[in-house]
Amino acid sequence: MASDDIWILGITMTKFGKHPEKDTVDLAAEAAMGALADADVNMGDMGVLAAGNLMSAAAGIGQQLQKQIGQTGIPVYNVANACATGATALRTAIMAVKAGECDMGLAVGVEKLAGAGLLAGGSKKDDADTWSPRGRFGAVAPLDGRVGTDTMPGVFAQIGMEYGHRYGGATFDLFARISEKNHAHSTLNPLAAYTKKMSVDEIMGDLMIAYPNTRPMCSANCDGAAAAVVVSGERLATLSGEQRRRAVKVSASVLTTDPWQESCQVLPDVNTLTRNAARQAYEQAGVGPEDLDLVELHDCFATAELVHYDNLMLCPEGGAVDFFESGATWRDGSTPVNVSGGLESKGHPIAATGIANIWEICHHLRGEAGDRQIEGAKVGLAHVIGLGSACGVHILEKAA
């Protein structure tokens, strides 16, 4: 029977960082078993498994994970959707439960990225010395850096600078102060890859990656995993009072891609699909940006955070600079953003990020976020975007 209400019953994330002693399946299993324990259920209760992994997607991470945590014959979906992979895995489990195919499901996102270096699009080399351009990316590769770029630092540097040219005020100093905020927030998150407070001068004086983003303004490649158990409202009603108390309602689950437009056939557009996703999510949830108590958005670069204030409609169109300058996005502000430290500090193991952002929101709604707790948090939004392009937005609400 189809279910209208979907809840997150259990959720966990591993410590993000370097885990040379663990392989991808080890990390995925740690997160999956943690989520099951947090939900007070077991693998035998699961009716579907959605497993997200980008760097080795063809290997069937879901089936490998089953061998480690329990093979029960349930359907397994292996998901790869750029930086939106984790959110897509969660949405896959949500859709299965919502459709009535099962009443409980498990979503996992995992990545081993420590030491991966610059992640970029394009085609791989045929051997160590030569590269033969082919296909769509090969056709535009000679233009890279002239009419745009397909490397992530360059893409998001361009996006931030474009916003500044259009609306004004988006200076090098401003982007550094966004990064300063996130590094300060990370000092309260023991699971973040980096928990070092950094001054604006330190951030601006660090290695320049793609102006205006210096190294501390960029998301940190690292190892990590996150997992969530989702349950139907009908099944939740049969569980214990403690399980019901800690459950978090999924008020909206949205996934979008780029609509067709002339400009984005070569240059990625992170704005339109995010704004479309946010609009759909607010409508689904029956809330507005003014109702949000906290937001975890995809700050793959400091420049990205600024434009997503606008795309998520946290401020009037063109008002992202004034919104940040007001202090709203700090932990003690009116709309705290990236209290976890964001991707710049918490880290960005690509496929885990979408669920990890939701983990942060859930812990505040449960009142379990420790020293970084946003008091009285009832509604939160988690956002990820993967170039390709895909955008996932989830709105979550505290149990009544």
Q: What is the pLDDT of residues 177-198, one digit of tens each?
A: 999 999 999 999 999 999 999 9
Residues 236-247 have a mean pLDDT of 97
pLDDT band at 1 (very low <50, low <70, confident <90, very high): low
Chain segment 366-377, per-residue pLDDT in tens: 999 999 999 999
Taking residues 29-49, what's their average pLDDT? 98
**Residue with more model confidence, 133 or 260:** 260
335-387 residue pLDDT tens: 999 999 999 999 999 999 999 999 999 999 999 999 999 999 999 999 999 98
pLDDT at 120: 46
Q: State the average pLDDT over residues 316-323.
A: 98
Beta strand pairing status for 104-111 and 49-52? parallel
Q: In angstroms, rounded to a whole number, what is the distance separating the alpha carbons of residues 386 and 274?
A: 10
Model-level pTM? 0.92
Q: Is 12 a residue whose pLDDT tops 90?
A: yes
Q: Where are the beta strands (DSSP E) in 298-386?
A: 379-386
Res. 95 pLDDT band, cuts 50 70 90: very high
Helix (H) or strand (E) segment spanning residue 140:
helix 135-140
Structural tokens at position 292 = 């949000």
Cβ atoms of residues 336 and 182 within 8 Å: no
Q: How far apart are the first and last CA of the chain?
A: 24
Give the residue carrying structure tokens 């320049």.
208
Tokens of 36: 């099951």
Average pLDDT value for the chain: 92
Question: How far, CA to CA in Å, does 379 sit from each of 238, 282, 291, 376?
Answer: 24, 11, 7, 9
pLDDT at 128: 54
Mean pLDDT computed over 115-121 = 58
Catalytic, 300? Answer no
Average pLDDT over residues 271-298: 97
- CB-based burial label for 263 (10 Å; 0-12, 13-18, 19+): exposed
| Annotated catalytic residue 183 | no
List, for residues 251-264, the tens digit of each pLDDT value.
Answer: 999 999 998 887 66
Examine the pLDDT at 3 and tell me if it is beyond 80.
no
SS3 helix, strand, coil % of the chain, rounded to 5?
A: 40, 20, 40
205-241 CB burial, b ≥16 within 10 A, e <16: ebeebbebbbebbbbbbbbbbbbbbbbbeebbeebee
pLDDT at 152: 82
pLDDT in tens, 299-314: 999 999 999 999 999 9
Query: According to the model, what pLDDT value does residue 388 have?
Result: 80
- What number is the average pLDDT over the span 217-236? 96
The rounded percent of the chain whose pLDDT value lies above 90 is 81
Tell me the angle at which helices 270-285 and 152-167 cross, rounded to the nearest 10 degrees: 80
pLDDT digits (tens, 9 = 90+) for 324-336: 999 999 999 999 9
Which entry of 19, 83, 222, 308 is annotated as an active-site residue?
Answer: 83
Q: Cα separation of 29 and 111, whole Å? A: 12
Catalogue the E-assigned strands of 170-216.
Answer: 208-210, 213-214
Distance CA 125, CA 113 (A): 20
What number is the average pLDDT over the span 96-115? 95
Domains and CATH numbers, the chain: 6-116+222-250 (3.40.47.10), 152-217+252-398 (3.40.47.10)
Q: Residue 115 — pLDDT band, cuts 50, 70, 90?
A: confident
More confident residue, 3 or 174: 174
> Do 357 and 92 meet the contact criterion of CB atoms below 8 Å apart?
no
What is the token pair recorded at 70? 């329990």
Catalytic annotation, pick one of 19, 183, 308, 348: 348
Q: Tell me the C-alpha to C-alpha distance, in Å, between residue 59 and each of 8, 76, 192, 310, 354.
A: 28, 13, 28, 38, 21
Residue 116 in this model has a pLDDT that exceeds 90? no
State the average pLDDT over residues 92-109.
Answer: 97
Specify whether the CB–CB gap between 372 and 189 falls below 8 A: yes
pLDDT score for 296: 98
The answer to whether 32 and 69 have CB atoms below 8 angstroms apart is yes
Tell me the average pLDDT across 11-30: 96
| Residue 255 or residue 2, greater confidence | 255
Q: What single letter denotes the amino acid at residue 15? A: K
Which pLDDT score, from 0 to 100, does residue 136 have?
Answer: 61
